[in-house]
A and B are shown apart, each in its own frame.
Chain A
Amino acid sequence: MLAYAIRRVAASIPVILAATFVVFLLVSLTGNPVDRLRLLDPPPPPEVLAAEEHRLFVDRPLLTRYWLWLSGILRGDFGPSADQHLDIGSEVFSRFAVTFRLVLLAMLVALVLAVVVGVVSAVRQYTVIDYTSTFLGFLFLAMPAFWLAVLLKEGGVFANDNLGTTVFYTVGEASVVVEGGPLARFADAAGHLILPTIALALISFASWSRYQRASMLEVLNSDYVRLARAKGLRRRKVMTRHALRTALIPLVTVTALDLANIIGGAVVTETVFQWRGAGRLLLDAIRARDVHVVMAWLLVASTAVVLFNLLADLLYARLDPRIRYD
């Protein structure tokens, strides 16, 4: 198993390298990060602009710039940022910590909801519950993430107005100043977390619940489930011990593959809710043509996706005894 994991990680390194090269070219060719200074009113002296271009490697050929970045990475140096005082390494990791908190919680919520709704829909096929969950699933699937987030924010403000106190927050991960003990801080953090988590979770829940329903229906109609029932096992036991376990395998695959999508969704959610996470970092970096920040972001995100997919593969073996990795 360990050898398999090492092989998988090693195989992904060339893919990540190729991705960094393409992204480096794309971002570098979109513009010069020093141009933002040229539009200042008044613009700085030309000598200042030249010095800034030299600091950011912009005055060198593209391939040299890529090599400078790559060789820096090997030394643990993420390169200079357009923000002169930014330590790219620590900034990217701290931002991803914020994002992963949101993403993992949203995935957990979406998974639990998807499994419950998917299973219930399958078991109660063509009932009111099934039709309702199908309707909701397609509704959330069709709804753009940013619009859902904006609707939730409006709902939060409406709820606050009627409650006479602020329970739901619409910007940031926490209030700037929270007076009171741990309970107040917990309530504040929860108040900030709840709307973005729902916004991010509902989109994934919608598709996952459909997968879970289809998978569960397939398993329920399989011979071994019928055999288990024929042997006299109780329905609940057949469902949980035999059917559900098998029906979870496709969902594990989809969940792992969807991580990149969810991080993409988090970019939108973080923007609307003004979380200071990796999504905002990426958008700000792209706007500023801050290529080294974009590259660091890409490295962390792609590594996370590789590791998550590896984790999914390892989970298969856990869920399905027929699968073995040598």
Chain B
Amino acid sequence: MRRGFAVLAVLTLALAGCATDQPSAGQQDQGQTATSVGFAECPRNPSTCNSGERRRGGQLIYALEQQWTSWNVDSAGGNLLYTAQALAPLNPGVFIQAPDAKVQLNTDLMESAELVDPTTIVYKIRKEAVWDDGVPIDVKDLTYLWRVANGRDCDVAKCTPYTQAGFEQIESIDSPDGKTVTVRLSKPFAEWQALWGQSRIYPAHVAEQAVGPLDNEANLAKAVEFFGRTVPTWSGGPYKLQEYKRGDSLVMVPNPRWYGREKPTLDRLIFKIITDVPQLPTALANREVNAIYPQPQVDMVQQLKQDQNANFYLGPGLGWEHFDIRTTHEFLKDEALRRALFTAVNRQALIDKTVGQFAPGIKPLDNYNLFPGVSPHYKDVITPTGAGRGDVEAARRVLTEAGYTVGADGLVTPGGDKVPPLRLRYTGGNEVRKVMCEQFAEMVRPLGITLKVEPTDDLSGTLGKGDFDIIIFGWTGTIFPFVQARQTWASTSASNYSKYGDKEIDALIGQAVETADQAAASDLLNQALERFAAGYAVLPIYQKPTAIAVNKDVVNVRNNPTADGPIYNAKEWGLLAQ
């Protein structure tokens, strides 16, 4: 081994001798001359922590964990977190999802965006807002997205929008001057800020030049396809794309036509795609990347905590883990059995055995769509059901009262049938989920219930086919909860893998989606979720933490658990002034 290191040392010196006097951009100095304030303030001030005065120049390399298949983030095939992050500096949105999980008007692009009555929204786009070719960002760009997503101007199978929510309710879009845009809805929409906010704005004029006028279905479908396959030559944001190496990297330089008040100071903003997450801490330590935002894992967290040259922060995320019971199962269709299972499981103990090892503050999650610290309308809908507390005695009483008995071979139904071993499935390779499942199985063993823990290599296939009795998996979560609730919990939704639901829940969620007032909509949603929780079909476990780490001379990069991610303020990113 010593010989190996000796060889390494010789090669090191030889290569050092080859290097030019002036280090290349890729060969950044190892030493850092300045240290930022770091993330200490993030729990109290999530939107301003790690701020600092920037020096002019330099480059910042931000790691992305996945390559993408399409540049059209508004299409079904392109709607990935990583695509959205890469496009954030190029394709603006009307609103920004900030680190404090609040929706903020994008004041670079907009003068205002107001719901003037429950079915009318008035947008005022700044007159300075232009694409990098000088063409104004205006009503044409908003209309393009509406037409591909409303399901009337273009068949959804052809235009493949990732969501129609809200767009299908828009009756008309009018503008006297292109910059003041009046949108009329057929019925109120609680998440009107998601329109052109969660979706990204694309330059309609660029598509028109490529495929022809966007006034017919064929050209709209071609435009969708065009934006999917075309590496962005446009920018309506602070940076523009200079170079793209497929699946490897994007190099962005400041957009000379950027109309925002805050100007970029970096010479280059680089996105480096590193798909093997465990390699990220080493790349950060070697300054091959300067900022990473990985899914936290135990080993990685330990490694990042030990990196003396990096600031690291583990913050609250919007993704959440849960157990789903397939309520169409021969035995699990009985609510008493489901209730006993969820009553016996101790969520805090599951957390302490797993993610609590590296994120000690994590508590069980008690809502499905509204998160503590994110929504002012968060309500605990789980505690009243008694689920998740690890109360084995209460679980036993539930079963006894329902007529179950425990025989020598395990639990026996009121009808005299033995409850067979139930298959509890998790994603193969996910140690946290595996341990949680094993612990869950131990917790319900005293009830006479046997859970057979089985991995799956094909989570989506397993869910789609209902090839499980109980399963653990996660949803990503969003600060726009109403449409998501409809898509996840409606009794007829393909994404409701528990298959539990009823018409009352559907009606309550439907009303919530169509209620303009947020407080009233949230109240309706909470009513629906209380009813849903009482079905003991889905048990939230915990909110997944997010991890961010940056080199110590990197400023204004901070955790943002929303769909916008840390890149929401790319224009402010920089290297600390000396």
Chain A residues in contact with chain B, CB under 8 A? 30-32, 35-52, 82-86, 91, 136, 139, 153-157, 159-161, 163-172, 174-181, 183-184, 186-188, 190-191, 194, 271-274, 276, 280, 284, 289
Look across to chain B and name the residue whose beta carbon is closest to the beta carbon of A166: B27
Residues of chain A lying within 8 A (CB to CB) of residue B3: 136
Contact A85 B70 (CB under 8 A): yes
Contact A43 B495 (CB under 8 A): yes
CA–CA, A209 to B224, complex, Å? Answer: 57
Contact B495 A31 (CB under 8 A): no
Contact A179 B163 (CB under 8 A): no
Determine how close the nearest CB of chain B comes to the CB of A133; give it in whole angstroms: 10
Contact B286 A38 (CB under 8 A): no
Determine how close the nearest CB of chain B comes to the CB of A226; give it in whole angstroms: 34
Asked if B176 CB lies within 8 Å of chain A CBs, one says no
Determine how close the nearest CB of chain B comes to the CB of A197; give it in whole angstroms: 11
Known: A172-B248, A176-B26, A176-B272. A166 touches B461 (CB 8 A): no
Contact B475 A171 (CB under 8 A): no
Central interface residue in B19, B67, B270, by most chain A CB within 10 Å: B19
Which of the segments B277-285, B349-357, B534-542 contacts the partner chain? B277-285
CA–CA, A188 to B16, complex, Å? Answer: 11
Look across to chain B and name the residue whose beta carbon is closest to the beta carbon of A41: B476
Which of the segments B33-41, B153-161, B513-521 contacts the partner chain? B153-161
Contact A44 B287 (CB under 8 A): no
Look across to chain B and name the residue whose beta carbon is closest to the beta carbon of A275: B248
Look across to chain B and name the residue whose beta carbon is closest to the beta carbon of A43: B495
Could you write out 12 A-B pairs with CB less than 8 Å apart?
Answer: A32-B460, A37-B77, A41-B488, A44-B161, A46-B494, A48-B161, A84-B70, A169-B26, A176-B270, A177-B59, A178-B25, A186-B18
Contact B251 A170 (CB under 8 A): no
Determine how close the nearest CB of chain B comes to the CB of A108; give it in whole angstroms: 16
CA–CA, A181 to B20, complex, Å? Answer: 9
Asked if B29 CB lies within 8 Å of chain A CBs, one says yes
5 extra interface residue pairs, beta carbon distance < 8 Å, beyond A48-B160, A187-B15 = A84-B70, A166-B26, A177-B26, A190-B15, A273-B279
Contact A31 B25 (CB under 8 A): no
Residues of chain A lying within 8 A (CB to CB) of residue B27: 165-166, 175, 184, 187-188, 191
Contact B161 A45 (CB under 8 A): yes
Contact A274 B279 (CB under 8 A): yes
Determine how close the nearest CB of chain B comes to the CB of A284; give it in whole angstroms: 7
Interface residues on B, range: 35 or more
Query: Which residues of chain B from 444 to 478 have a CB within 8 Å of any chain A CB?
Result: 457-461, 463-464, 475-478
Among B1, B160, B164, B488, the residue within 8 A (CB) of A51 is B160
Asked if B22 CB lies within 8 Å of chain A CBs, one says yes
Look across to chain A and name the residue whose beta carbon is closest to the beta carbon of B272: A176
Residues of chain A lying within 8 A (CB to CB) of residue B458: 30-31, 35, 289
Residues of chain A lying within 8 A (CB to CB) of residue B459: 39
Interface string of B9-23 (1 = CB under 8 A from A): 101100110111011
Determine how close the nearest CB of chain A comes to the CB of B356; give it in whole angstroms: 25
CA–CA, A190 to B156, complex, Å? Answer: 50
Known: A167-B19, A171-B272, A276-B248. A156 touches B286 (CB 8 A): yes
Known: A39-B460, A165-B30, A170-B283. A180 touches B249 (CB 8 A): no
Known: A47-B155, A272-B276. A187 touches B76 (CB 8 A): no
Asked if B378 CB lies within 8 Å of chain A CBs, one says no
Residues of chain A lying within 8 A (CB to CB) of residue B15: 167-168, 187, 190-191, 194
Among B12, B29, B70, the residue within 8 A (CB) of A159 is B12
Determine how close the nearest CB of chain A comes to the CB of B257; give it in whole angstroms: 23
CA–CA, A153 to B155, complex, Å? Answer: 51
Determine how close the nearest CB of chain B comes to the CB of A94; give it in whole angstroms: 9
